[in-house]
Amino acid sequence: FGSSFAQALAIAIILIYHNRHCFAMKVSINTMIGVEVACVDIEATLQVGALLALLPDQVGGTECSRRLLFGDIELTGSMSLSDIGLEEGSMLTLVRGPMLRVLTASDDGTAKVWSTA
């Protein structure tokens, strides 16, 4: 085994790593009852918050709280898809619900509605 073998091996390792962590992969996003709402080609380095922004409004727009699950793990906005081990063909679960709103009152007689969005 000469240096050409070592170079070929190094290139193969780099390509495998690059394919696994950088190239686009197809991921399906399903509801809790298994209905597919989206199938997207995404980069492994994409963050969860950016993925949620890519989903069409009919998948739960601004008046709806949206969360993604991978298995039993709730994904947070700053996680990258490669951080959680997402691979080609993985399935994420979209959980939708009404946006939480809280009403507060002040001593001066004013009130304000706060939302989680």
pTM over 0.75: no
**Element housing 110 (H / E):** none
- Per-residue pLDDT tens digits of the chain, which is 117 residues long: 455 666 666 666 655 554 554 557 888 999 889 888 888 888 888 888 888 888 765 565 555 678 889 988 888 878 888 888 888 889 999 888 777 778 899 999 999 988 765
- DSSP classification of residue 113: E
Residue of 17, 21, 19, 14 whose CA lies nearest to 82: 21
Pick left, alpha or beta for residue 17 (phi over 0 → left; psi -120 to 50 → alpha; otherwise beta). alpha
Mind listing the domains of the chain with CATH numbers? Answer: 24-115 (3.10.20.90)
* Cα–Cα dist 29/51, whole Å: 10
Residue of 89, 82, 94 whose CA lies nearest to 40: 89
